[in-house]
Amino acid sequence: MMYLGNNEYVKGVCVENTVDLIKEKEAKVLVTQVGAGSEPLSLGSESVLAPAGVQKDRSISIEQIIWGFEHGVVPAALTNHSDMMCEDFREALEKNSEMTMLPNEKICPTGDEHGEYLVIDVGGSTLRIAIVEIKPPGDSDENDDREKRINLVSERQWTVENSVKVMDLKFFRWIAKNAKETLAYREDFVSGKCKLKTGISWSFPLEMTSHSSGNILFAGKGYTISQEVYGKDLKYILESVFLESYGLQIDIKSIVNDSLATYAAGAFLDKNMKLAMVLGTGLNACCLIKTDSIHEKKRLDSDYVLLNSELSFFGRDLISLSNKFDTMIDSHFDYRNTKLPYKPHMELDTLTKEIFQPLELMTSGRYIVELVRSIIVDLIEGGNIFQKVHLGMSHVIYKRYDGLSGELVCSISESDDITFLRKRIVKYMGWNPNDIDDADIINLKLIVDCVIKRAAYLMAITIVAFIKLMHINNDGSKSDVFKVGFVGSVLAHFKKYRNTVLEFVNEDSLVKSLGLKVGFKSLVESSIIGTAISAAYFS
């Protein structure tokens, strides 16, 4: 069996949805024991936040914090780190990890894809329905012109309220009702005279039985599954409900998740796109790989498979670059001074049965912002920043995961205008502008910069590891250009993050030896466009 989405089926056990598990863990104050008879490691441990000889009290300086985040950011060590991550990639492929490197039928757009498609994008909190037209290729179909062939004819979006997060026939009738409203301008479809080719973007794991069908077994993200749809084929349910409830004839051609949709969009638009990446609140990546040297169960009887990497679970060797602020997010980081006793990309924590997503926790938008917030609180309490500000414990900055906005952190990262930043900080925090010195803002920028720099270094390691994997498994590359197609707020809005990643990657010795030039390509609306492309590919 193959599984689409955030994998939740581990060795025959149905595991709670990744997001729900994360939130449950975040609500705890965790203290982990490294081994039998060892003393608990305090969340306040600062063993990697200061060089030997530096006093380690509750309050640490800005210099120590910067050192704690940047001491391991060594360009010369990037190759070694990427080697270890590549080995973990290969282990997941060769030993049939049920958590990572999940195989899907290949999507290799030829450029001949065309037609009109209904796209249904079901997310954790939103439903999007669109009509996408892909025009036929012209006499000379160059990649540069393919974007002009795609027309988003119509799109609507609805919020999925918690009160309706029950996957039952009523839920699917609600989707069909909204689709009919979106199609209202087309009499031929609304009347049921024509069958509309359809692509589905599904944010939940499915037991895939083909590229266009899969059984509903898992939910999460606040959803529950009714017995009337549990174990049933998503394709059959949707096609039946659309026809029986509203007389709409749809023909589902493909079912994908966000990373597969991003890959499909990028592969259609740019022949040099080899890796698709989702980096926003969370993290994932997708690539095409030959099946010669991977586990038989991952081959899907094909020469190539498209891998949903579930990238967040990799990076076990990178926890050596973590510090006490990472431990505040997940206690597994306390293993940075020893060795993690299990492999997150292969199994759950053998003791607690918890998931651990080291790479996501150090690189994605949700956790970058939380790291910055934790540092600010630590420095305020130690009298090392914003010394004129008096805070009560009810102040917003003390709210975990809600005490700081991604927009504010992005502004601090991107802008060097102290006057502008003062206004943004004052407005968000509700402080008196006279209580904030220029030095406070400069120090805040230093904090954000060091968190971003480490995250960019880790993402560079990851991209080089994928380049290495594809070079080994795919018999090298015929192109000297390697594009990473991306979607997600972090790479879209944090330009310094994006540029720093590329600086590290393009200076790597392997990348240079292969003669590659690595670049990013923004794939706006990829979940919609890529889903339409995948439906066209399988039509």
Residue 232 lies in a domain: yes
Interval 263-307: pLDDT, tens: 999 999 999 999 999 999 889 999 999 999 999 999 999 999 999
The count of domains in the chain is 1
Question: Is 448 a residue whose pLDDT tops 80?
Answer: yes
* Confidence band, pLDDT 50/70/90 cuts, at residue 46: very low
Residue 71 lies in a domain: no
Beta bridge partners of 4: 206
Residue 489 lies in a domain: no
Looking up tokens 């995250």 gives: 455
Distance of CA 36 to the CA centre of its chain: 35
Residue 303 lies in a domain: no
Domain that holds residue 186: 110-263+528-537
**pLDDT computed for residue 140 by the predictor:** 63
Lowest-confidence segment of 7-16, 84-93, 230-239 by average pLDDT: 7-16
Question: Is 253 a residue whose pLDDT tops 70?
Answer: yes
Instruction: State how far the Cα of 267 lies from the Cα of 262, in Å rounded to an integer.
Output: 9
Mean pLDDT in residue range 72-98: 97
* Confidence band, pLDDT 50/70/90 cuts, at residue 59: low
**pLDDT computed for residue 27 by the predictor:** 46
In this structure, what is the dihedral angle of CA atoms 8, 11, 12, 13, given to the nearest 10 degrees? -50
Lowest-confidence segment of 58-72, 348-362, 424-438 by average pLDDT: 58-72
Cβ count near 53 (within 10 Å): 5
* Confidence band, pLDDT 50/70/90 cuts, at residue 321: very high
Mean pLDDT of the chain: 88
Cβ-defined contacts of 145-152 (< 8 Å, 24+): 146/111, 146/268, 146/269, 147/269, 149/114, 150/529, 150/532, 152/525, 152/528, 152/529
Cβ count near 482 (within 10 Å): 22
As a whole-number percent, the residues of the chain with pLDDT over 70 amount to 88
Question: Is 342 a residue whose pLDDT tops 70?
Answer: yes
Query: Any idea what the CATH number is for the domain that residue 196 is in?
Result: 3.30.420.40
Beta bridge partners of 283: 279
Residue 162 lies in a domain: yes
Looking up tokens 């070694």 gives: 80
Residue 185 lies in a domain: yes
Give start and end residues of each alpha helix (H) in 232-338: 234-246, 258-269, 324-329
Residue 131 lies in a domain: yes
Residue 360 lies in a domain: no
Question: Is 356 a residue whose pLDDT tops 50?
Answer: yes
**223: which DSSP letter?**
B
Identify the residue with better confidence: 144 or 210. 210
Question: Is 349 a residue whose pLDDT tops 90?
Answer: yes
* Confidence band, pLDDT 50/70/90 cuts, at residue 378: very high
Q: Which residues contact 173 (CB under 8 A, 6 or more apart)?
A: 241, 245
Cβ count near 480 (within 10 Å): 10
**pLDDT computed for residue 188 by the predictor:** 75
